[in-house]
Amino acid sequence: MKKLTYLILPIVALTFLAGCGNEAEDNNSNETARERVVAVGTMSMERISFEDRIRVNGTVTAFEDAMIAVETPGQVLYIAERGTSVNKGDIIMRLDDRLLKANFEAAQSGFDLAEDMFNRQSALHADSVISTAQYLQSRSQRDQAKAQLTAIQKQLEDAQLRAPFSGRIEEKFSSVGQFVGPGTPVLRLVNTNKVKVTGGVPERFSGRITRGSAVEINFRNYDVASISSQVRFAGNLINPDSRTFPVEVVLDNANGAIKPLMVVEMRVLRQLVDEQIVIPRTAVVRDESGETVFVVNERNGQKRAEMRRIEVTLTSGDYIVVGSGLNDGDEVIISGLTNLGDGDLLNITSTRSNSSHQASTDR
């Protein structure tokens, strides 16, 4: 009986091991047949308008900004304070003009006398009573007296300094009682009811950006809404250091929210392309033979990745205009491309339309 027991145990053990081997084989077979599924995001294609914009930094300056200086010497009797808003022609500084008034009266009397003498000499010369030389001398004296009167009158007018344009007194360099001489700056007058935004556009776009080109001004670091405007001036001269040409935009600023020396972003329209397929740059795979994208291809109820060759007609900023290779309704994979291969099963986690975003790019 003992010998029979020993014989049965090895047979059972072999049967058990054979069963385990078959189960491991089945597991390996299932692993081989299982396909990987890649999570991706997609974008459905529609033909849309595409704005190709050039992005440059711009600087805000006042529309009018002047250092006001006096042209005649004198002692300051009145000067406008900082922060004072003035209109064109308002008096912003007054000098002591008592001496000038006295000189003016004297010059006026001298001119009146010379004018009267000239009129008398003219009548005598007409009657040939005096010589032509006497007549010419009289006329010269009259003209000299008139010139002297005009010069003193100009000095008297300059003793009252008037605003050359409407604006606000931003700086004051003199005080009441101080003596100032010709050419001495006394005030800084700034007009910010309008402001200028200037920037430099790379020279390769010189043929595209002209007066009237659309531009959007973004105040990224300030609490000011974006403003759409047009290029008022596009320069013809290239800066040899930066290899750019200047563009200028004028903006209304009645509320004073835009300050001089602000740094802003200028998005200048280079061209507008209508009815085109536009995809994100990140959706494109490049190799030595060109550009390809992955699109969703549904077969037998399963969504798989299909590699498709495309032709790129325009690249600008984060977007690409596709000339051929894609059609309306195609679903392009725009995220999850890192481990994606042709024919892989797809798990689409998000889908959006290319018409749902602003079709505008920046260079």
What is the per-residue pLDDT for 361?
Answer: 47
Q: Domain check: are 59 and 198 in the same one?
A: yes
Instruction: List the CATH number of the domain containing 205.
Output: 2.40.30.170
Residue where one domain finishes, among candidates 273, 302, 326: 273
Determine how β-strand 290-299 pairs with β-strand 360-362.
Answer: unpaired
H/E stretch holding 101 reads: helix 98-126
pLDDT surpassing 90 at residue 223:
no
User: Is residue 284 within 8 Å of 310, Cβ to Cβ?
Assistant: yes
Is this prediction's pTM over 0.75? no
What share of residues in the chain are helix, strand, coil (percent, to 5)?
Answer: 25, 45, 30
Task: Work out how many domains the chain is built from and give that number.
Answer: 3
Question: What's the pLDDT score for residue 275?
Answer: 80
Is residue 349 a part of any domain in this protein? yes
Domain-embedded: residue 330:
yes
CA distance to 82, 93, 183, 187, 192, per residue, from 169 (Å): 5, 11, 18, 7, 11
Same domain, 297 and 230: no
Distance in angstroms (rounded) separating the CA atoms of residues 75 and 340: 83
Nearest to 82 by CA among 159, 160, 167, 164: 167
Specify if 42 maps to a domain.
yes
Domain for residue 179, yes or no?
no
Residue 108 has pLDDT above 80, yes or no: yes
CATH code for the domain of 151: 1.10.287.470
User: Are residues 104 and 144 located together in one domain of the fold?
Assistant: yes
What is the average per-residue pLDDT within 172-185?
93
3-state secondary structure of 255: coil
Is 350 found in the same domain as 332? yes
Both 265 and 200 in one domain: the answer is yes
The predicted model gives 184-198 an average pLDDT of 94
Contacts of 348 (CB under 8 A, 6+ apart): 40, 41, 42, 296, 303
Residue 217, pLDDT > 90, answer: yes
CATH number, domain of 41, equals 2.40.420.20
Q: Please, are residues 262 and 218 in contact by the beta-carbon 8 Å criterion?
A: no
User: Are both 266 and 301 inside the same structural domain?
Assistant: no
Contacts of 260 (CB under 8 A, 6+ apart): 60, 61, 62, 65, 190, 192, 195
| pLDDT of 141 over the 50 cut | yes
Residues 143 and 101 in one domain: yes
Same domain, 323 and 263: no
Q: In this structure, is residue 91 part of a structural domain?
A: no
pLDDT of residue 34: 65
4-13, 187-196, 299-308: range with highest mean pLDDT:
187-196
- For 193-216, b/e burial (b = at least 16 CB within 10 A) is bebbbbbbbeeebeeebeeebebb
9 pLDDT more than 90: no
- In this model, does residue 224 exceed pLDDT 60? yes
Express each pLDDT in 273-330 by its tens digit.
Answer: 778 888 888 889 888 888 899 999 988 888 999 999 998 888 777 888 888 888 888 8
Residues of the chain with pLDDT > 90, as a percent, come to 53
Is 7 a domain residue?
no
Across residues 63-73, what is the average pLDDT? 93
Query: Please, are residues 267 and 362 in contact by the beta-carbon 8 Å criterion?
Result: yes
| Contacts for 121 with CB less than 8 Å, ≥ 6 apart | 130, 134, 135, 138, 139
Residues of the domain holding 248: 55-63+192-273
Whether residue 362 is predicted with pLDDT greater than 80 in this model: the reply is no
Same domain for 255 and 232? yes
Q: Which of 32-41, 66-75, 171-180 has the lowest mean pLDDT?
A: 32-41
Indicate if 144 and 104 belong to the same structural domain.
yes
Residue 11 has pLDDT above 60, yes or no: no
Q: Which residue is it, tokens 């000095």? A: 155
**pLDDT tens digits for range 328-352:** 888 999 998 888 888 889 988 988 8
Arithmetic mean of pLDDT over the chain: 85
The winner for highest mean pLDDT among 115-119, 151-155, 247-251, 285-289 is: 247-251
- Asked if residue 257 and residue 199 are part of one domain, the reply reads yes
269 and 319 in a single domain? The answer is: no
